[in-house]
A and B are shown apart, each in its own frame.
Chain A
């Protein structure tokens, strides 16, 4: 039987007119690294604060380890939290910050000193006990905040964009560290971020959120390769192509101009107005028409950008004004196409994912 660390059942939270969290249900497994990913203002922090008990939901139930804690105050829930702005106590040194929770729980001085010392080793800050908080770098403060929460051995650790304030290099280091620590301590992590890269690198599962609603909950590769709607498809990954048309069933999709494309099956979309999503790196480019059986579209190069590891083309064709293609830079003799050149685009049927059409798809805002 699967044990769940956190269960949210039909949680809704409004602030005045704004519905910050809209009927959210989630089940987070024990020892899972679970991310809540979405654009700014989509309700991630509010969801996390509801799990922590810092915010009361208007409706719904919060369970921790199977126990209903909806009306239990924060200090009685066995959770740890790392805040977006860390919220380290400025009037205490590193040692006292980490010891704070243990003191609240009435541990003996010996016990406290032993646990703090061990925790400082886990976050790789041994010998920093007597440092003042403002004498630490951003990354070190980050670790102290993590240690302060982890030393309590909480059943669930909630992290709200903890790497947001760090620059790219430390952020990448910290991602690896976080994952290592999570394995080492074996605690459930609920990680809030608007950075898909962070979510992809660390998570076992990701919940993509938009405007208070959970869009999809899946593993990083499924989220990337099998998005369930236009929002997820465009929010995740660098770029994606959409082609409008109707799904006819039997892996056949009729694009706008009447051209039939082979796609992966989606029984829900049969005979409905749909959209196919194709990742730019799944499309191949060539100057000859490919053999039959593959999707093939004739087009014209409108733009070419050399990006180092890859080359980005923008191609116009009759099924779409702009198809983006990424060609990996695999050899110095690789053929490069010039603007205005006629080319053929080819892709696997299963690279085309059929999604329900939305008249006004929610505009994903990408940050960072």
Chain B
């Protein structure tokens, strides 16, 4: 457009052009709602928890007053807490096993539905697969108590089949927590896996075959590396809530299944008060840092694998 035409434009059009051209304005309009939302509901409680963990609030009768100090007292008390390292280790272990289990369960199903199934049945199959997750999380988890009970469905079935004589003790054990976590979180693994596998270009597999790759080699060299974005996304989606899980260990676990999540829960709800909130906040922050570091390492490692694998 020539300069002259530019000059002749009506004033309001010029203003509109300016607005359209403004990058800053776009950023504000598009990002502001979510950012403000997160600022209010995530960032401010996060800062407050940070302040609690550094003992920056003092309880005066029923209210807390800000005191300008930084003390590591609650962190030290947390690390002195009996069994804290075992608890952290256990949370990590539950989460890792859950990730592996959900991956092993979901991958073949996502592969079959995304790849082999007649396209017209795909959405129905996906729907059927995730129907259990329409049920409220608490109900779904609580019902597992009946399934895993000494006289529950699983034990009755195994005994009727004559595979066991005595009922297996599930409730209160690591196994129960892991089974239920895998069940509860499986859809978080399944959906991203299905997403990548469904989109994966089948011609690539045929191309591999024309280059002499057996179906097994094709899977290893083409399908698997190309589905790794789904594996990464699914793993993180399962790992993050799993490592902080507190309801499942409380409902189907017992005294030996304490996790970081249940610990934080008990500091805030059972211990309460200045110390409870302080130590709880300290645990929460350690938990966040823990997740950030692990996720970062994971993406780095597996991401690199994807690039060059």
Contacts and interface: CB of A to CB of B under 8 A. Distances in A.
Chains A and B come from one and the same complex:
yes
Interface of A: 52-54, 73-76, 79-81, 83, 85, 87-91, 100-101, 104-105, 148-149, 152, 158
Contacts of A90: 226
Contacts of B215: 75
Contacts of B214: 75
Interface string B182-218: 0000000000000000000101101111111111010
A152 B309 contact: no
Nearest to B309: A91
A152 B307 contact: no
B307 A149 contact: no
Given A81-B210, A83-B203, A100-B221, 19 more contacts: A73-B209, A74-B206, A74-B210, A75-B209, A75-B210, A75-B211, A75-B214, A81-B207, A83-B206, A85-B201, A87-B204, A87-B207, A88-B207, A89-B207, A91-B225, A91-B307, A100-B213, A104-B208, A104-B212
A104 B203 contact: no
Contacts of B302: none
Interface residues on B, range: 20 to 34
A52 B221 CA distance: 21
Contact of A91 (B203, B206, B306): B306
B208 A100 contact: yes
A152 B211 contact: yes
A209 B126 CA distance: 41
A97 to B, nearest CB: 9
Given A91-B226, A104-B217, A75 B212 contact: yes
B105 interface: no
Contacts of A79: 210
Given A75-B212, A101-B211, A104-B213, A87 B222 contact: no
16 contacts: A53-B209, A54-B206, A75-B213, A79-B210, A80-B211, A81-B207, A85-B201, A87-B203, A87-B207, A88-B207, A89-B204, A89-B207, A89-B222, A91-B226, A104-B208, A152-B212
A101 B210 CA distance: 8
Interface string B141-167: 000000000000000000000000000
Nearest to B209: A74
A80 B209 CA distance: 10
A280 B32 CA distance: 68
Nearest to B206: A54
3 interchain residue pairs of minimum CB distance: A101-B211, A87-B207, A74-B209
A303 B124 CA distance: 59
B206 A87 contact: yes
Contact of A80 (B204, B210, B221, B222): B210
**A75, A79, A81: most-surrounded residue (chain B CB, <10 A):** A75
A53 B226 CA distance: 24
Contact of A52 (B210, B225, B226, B309): B210
Contacts of A87: 201, 203-204, 206-207
A83 B207 contact: yes
Contacts of B309: 91
Nearest to A154: B210
